[in-house]
Amino acid sequence: MFDPRDPSFLEDPYPAFAALRAEGDVHLHEGLGLAVAVSHAASSAVLRHRGLGRIWQDAQPLERFASFNLLHRNSLLENEPPAHTRLRRLIAGAFGRGHVQRLRPMVATLAAGMVDDLAAAIAADGSADLLAHLAQPLPVAVIAELLGVPGTDGPRMVQLSNAIVKMYEYGLSEEGRDTAEEAAAEFVSYVRSVAAARASAPGSPGDDIISDLLRSELTPDELVATAVLLLMAGHEATVNVLGNGITALLTHRDQWERLLATPSLLDSCVEELIRFDAPLQLFERTATEDVTIAGYVVSRGQKIGALLGAAARDPKVFDEPDRLDIGRTPNAHLGFGLGIHYCVGAPLARVEIAAALSALTAKLPGLKLAETPRRRPEFVIRGLRELRVTA
Ligand code: HEM
């Protein structure tokens, strides 16, 4: 069974997933303390089954994790109906396809400006970090704009968010857990003060999402949890699709050249990058009744995880799954999940990734890796520390 902290597994987890898949759809992972679904069919079943839910359990002891628990206990991602339905309805409109399509020009302008900066940094220094210049700041700037928080707070929000999401990894140190709680406390007070200022400013609330939430029937804790969830989810995965995906394109040069030659493949390229090296590898569910997935019984109270990265390479669904093919259609990846928790931000993420790729191919067609990218040591959120490129 794979070890989620083993550097060689993290470097390339896909052979280990393929070996497991060859032996069966679902396996008990003793180390993680849960079953894992490794086929596309079993992962889909886990995400859709109504007897499997996101059942939040507070981090313990409660006094030590007050803010971390507040953010999660009140979040739509950690709730099931009816609370989930009520919370999700409030934000669904703002992230709907039609609304997001209107953001295209704004996102394209931001991406173009960031790629100009990247090009200038490469010209000045010979190489530059694509994560720091584009993949990280683009989704942060967009989600900050949508929520109506100052873009200049973006870098701090990224630090807080990165510290909080470490709690989703397996085997985090006690120090890491304290850092996550401190970050959660700072994020809670930050959003409370933004909301208070918005509520009392003349002529407001305005037309941003925090203003929408202020006008809704949310409790103060639900408002904070919803805003923080959006600010975090709004960039944690997108940055890694861009980092992992652009690395994949530059190391499969024929596919980069194909995108340059055929810009109409942009949309299918976005889907393929999400499939090929999944930024989010594992989502857990808890059984609220005895549930059978691909013949494996998950007893009430037990957990099972959908391994999205493994599902994404299932040969029963994807022809030659280990091949990067930016024209792949259909492409039924599970990268945005399935069922009631299906990613609210999927249309926005697609627009952001497409805008970044368009700006890069237009301005830096000779883009190349300057060195082998360095991975972050985490398993659940799969990404790079740095992506130095040159042109
Ligand atoms: C390519 C980038 C992204 C990927 C791969 C991604 C992936 C996912 C996945 C797999 C889930 C489902 C989790 C589960 O079933 O347990 C999810 C949920 C969610 N995502 Fe995304 N996401 C991305 C970008 C975004 C963006 C830009 C936003 C900004 C609004 C966002 C907001 C959310 C929210 C609020 C949920 C919770 C939905 C619910 O519980 O009903 N995501 N995302």
For position 204, what pLDDT does the model report? 64
How far is 312 from 274, CA to CA, in rounded Å? 9
Strand partners, 129: 388
For position 98, what pLDDT does the model report? 84
Instruction: Answer for the pair 241, 249: CB distance below 8 angstroms, yes or no.
Output: no
How far is 193 from 198, CA to CA, in rounded Å? 8
B/e letters for 349-382, b = 16+ CB within 10 Å, e = fewer, are: bbbbbbbbbbbbbeebeebebbeebebbebbbbb
Q: Is 242 in the pocket of ligand 1 (CB under 6 A)?
A: no
Q: What is the pLDDT of residues 41-50, one digit of tens each?
A: 999 999 999 9
- For residue 252, give the nearest of 279, 273, 236, 271 by alpha carbon: 273
Angle between helices 346-363 and 238-251 (to 10 degrees): 40
**Ligand 1 mean position to 26 CA, how many Å?**
24
Q: Is 349 in the pocket of ligand 1 (CB under 6 A)?
A: yes
**Ligand 1 mean position to 261 CA, how many Å?**
31
Structure tokens that stand for 311 in this block? 């599902």
Report DSSP state, residue 384: E
How far is 79 from 82, CA to CA, in rounded Å? 8
Q: Domain map of the chain by residue range?
A: 7-390
**Ligand 1 mean position to 161 CA, how many Å?**
14
**Ligand 1 mean position to 336 CA, how many Å?**
6
For position 91, what pLDDT does the model report? 93
Pocket test for ligand 1, best of 75, 343, 353 (most atoms within 8 A of CB): 343
How far is 223 from 88, CA to CA, in rounded Å? 12
Q: Is 229 in the pocket of ligand 1 (CB under 6 A)?
A: yes
Q: Is 46 in the pocket of ligand 1 (CB under 6 A)?
A: no
Instruction: Look up tokens 């740095």; give the residue.
Output: 386
For position 38, what pLDDT does the model report? 98
Minimum CA distance residue for ligand 1 atom 40? 77
**Ligand 1 mean position to 342 CA, how many Å?**
7
Cα-Cα end-to-end distance for the chain: 41
How far is 384 from 388, CA to CA, in rounded Å? 10
For position 200, what pLDDT does the model report? 87
Q: Is 135 in the pocket of ligand 1 (CB under 6 A)?
A: no
Instruction: Answer for the pair 213, 149: CB distance below 8 angstroms, yes or no.
Output: no
3-class DSSP state for residue 39?
Answer: coil
Measured in whole angstroms, how far is the alpha carbon of residue 318 from the centre of its chain? 22
Enumerate the H helices of 262-377 as residue ranges: 266-276, 308-311, 346-363
Q: Is 233 in the pocket of ligand 1 (CB under 6 A)?
A: yes
Please tell me the CATH superfamily of domain 7-390, with its number.
Cytochrome P450 (1.10.630.10)
How far is 28 from 35, CA to CA, in rounded Å? 4
Largest CA distance in the chain: 63
Minimum CA distance residue for ligand 1 atom 25? 345
> What's the pTM?
0.97
- List of the chain residues with pLDDT < 50: none
**Ligand 1 mean position to 235 CA, how many Å?**
10
**Ligand 1 mean position to 136 CA, how many Å?**
16
- The set of residues, in sequence order, having a beta carbon less than 8 Å from that of 386 and lying 6+ positions away, is 129, 131, 132, 373, 374
Q: Is 94 in the pocket of ligand 1 (CB under 6 A)?
A: no
For position 319, what pLDDT does the model report? 98
How far is 361 from 249, CA to CA, in rounded Å? 11
**Ligand 1 mean position to 232 CA, how many Å?**
10
**Ligand 1 mean position to 27 CA, how many Å?**
25
Q: Is 341 in the pocket of ligand 1 (CB under 6 A)?
A: yes
Instruction: Answer for the pair 278, 243: CB distance below 8 angstroms, yes or no.
Output: no
Q: Is 234 in the pocket of ligand 1 (CB under 6 A)?
A: yes
